Amino acid sequence: MDNEIAPIYEKLSSIVSEEEFLQRINEKTEKMGPLCDKKTIALLVASDLGITDATHEPTKIADINENSSNVYVVGKIISLFDTREFSRNDGTTGKVGNFIIADNSGSIRVTVWDELADQITNGTIKAGKSYRISGYVKEGYSGLEINVGRYGGIEEIDEDIQVELPSMKIADIKENDSDININAVILQISDIRTFSKKTGGEGKVRNILVGDETGKIRVTLWDEKAELDSSLHEGIPIEIINGYARLNNFNDEVEIQIGKHGVIRKTDSEILYQEDFTPISDIIPGESYSVKGFVSGIGEVREFSRKDGSIGRVSNVYISDETGRIRVTLWDDMAEIVEKVDIDTEMEIIDAYAKTGFNDEVELNAGRQSRIVIL
């Protein structure tokens, strides 16, 4: 490469190959003829990629507007979307994918095509990683976006970009919401369960319960996401990126789903969560409640046989507060709680389901999704 244009290429080496850079210079030379020297044409190529001779600093996402053309940005991918195929006019099949990239000024959607779209599918392009991206700006389906076309590029960089994520509050999450980003604290972690997929093979699923200052929500982690990092446990603040909300048909509650494009990781954010306890006298059948009180009655652990032949366990305690007294039925692992408490032990029973029980009295049922805290 000529010494005259080598310094210009140094500024572009992370987003375009040397071969492609020289090819673009040749194409411009053919169009412009003797009007420009080689250095000027190289600078025009750099400008096409969003980099000028005056500065090679990336464009801040917040500075991108309808007058922007070619841009070069550096940021972190905060959301990935599944790729899709389409038919071109010439009969060939193309692929397109999208993701959201953010820096400390804002975020923008990026569209990639064909081979780059395949990198979303095969996991080469990942949420939570940082990238250099060059492309052209256009009006998209939901506003301005960056298209990484033939002359654009994307390269992963080893840099932790600090971003400003559009974070939601748990109370604002609705069924079918997508691109969900939240900060929350882990309240409960369940064991991993396995299942047989319809397409064959074995799948994994795990539930965690998380909360913020506005409420709590159950999060379902699928397959490799179910294998939580060892640093994540109850009481740890986390960041969830690129979740989507679905209605649990069993309990009619909205949950967050985390699939292959989602991210869950520890954060340094301070999360303020406080459990909402219901007075015992206000409990009615058909809802889940959290109550706090003193043990006023203790039953024995009993075993029983289920229809599938497995053995279950059940016990009962009575909990009293200043408004009343209620029977709590404890199932399976919860049943052993009666061996750890005495009369007047203070307890919190969290997320127990209220139903009509013995003698048509309202009682609480504490099972796999409930929590019990002995104070």
The CA distance from 85 to 199, in Å, is: 21
Tell me the two tokens of residue 91. 């009969």
Superfamily classification of domain 61-157: Nucleic acid-binding proteins (2.40.50.140)
**Residue 55: its pLDDT value, please?**
42
Residue 361 has phi, psi (to 5 degrees) of: -95, 150
Superfamily classification of domain 170-266: Nucleic acid-binding proteins (2.40.50.140)
Residues 259, 225 contacting (CB under 8 angstroms): yes
Q: Is 226 exposed, middle or buried (0-12, 13-18, 19+ CB in 10 A)?
A: buried
**Residue 217: its pLDDT value, please?**
95
Other Cβ atoms closer than 10 A to 8: 22
**Residue 32: its pLDDT value, please?**
60
Tell me the two tokens of residue 3. 């010494």
**Residue 105: its pLDDT value, please?**
86
Residue with the two structure tokens 């109850």: 234
Q: Annotate the chain with three-state secondary structure.
A: CCCCCHHHHHCCCCCCCHHHHHHHHHHHHHHHHHHCCHHHHHHHHHHHCCCCCCCCCCCCHHHCCCCCCEEEEEEEEEEECCCEEEECCCCCEEEEEEEEEECCCCEEEEEEECHHHHHHHCCCCCCCCEEEEEEEEEEECCEEEEEECCCCEEEEECCCCCCCCCCECHHHCCCCCCCEEEEEEEEEECCCEEEECCCCCEEEEEEEEEEECCEEEEEEEEHHHHCCCCCCCCCCEEEEEEEEEEEECCCCEEEEEECCCCEEEECCCCCCCCCCCCCHHHCCCCCEEEEEEEEEEECCCEEEECCCCCEEEEEEEEEEECCEEEEEEEEHHHHHHHHCCCCCCEEEEEEEEEEECHHHCEEEEECCCCEEEEC
Q: Is 324 exposed, middle or buried (0-12, 13-18, 19+ CB in 10 A)?
A: middle
**Residue 284: its pLDDT value, please?**
94
Residues 134, 50 contacting (CB under 8 angstroms): yes
Beta-bridged to residue 319, according to DSSP, are 295, 326
Q: Which residues contact 53 (CB under 8 A, 6 or more apart)?
A: 8, 43, 46
Superfamily classification of domain 280-374: Nucleic acid-binding proteins (2.40.50.140)
Encode the chain (375 residues) as per-residue pLDDT tens digits: 677 777 777 767 766 778 888 888 888 777 765 555 677 677 667 766 666 543 457 888 989 988 887 888 889 988 888 788 999 888 889 899 999 898 888 888 899 988 889 988 888 898 888 998 888 888 877 678 999 876 677 888 888 887 766 688 999 999 988 878 899 999 999 999 999 888 888 999 999 999 999 999 999 999 988 988 888 899 999 989 888 899 988 778 899 999 877 888 888 888 989 999 999 999 999 999 999 999 999 999 999 998 888 999 999 999 999 999 999 999 998 999 999 999 999 999 999 999 998 888 999 999 888 999 998
Residues 235, 243 contacting (CB under 8 angstroms): no
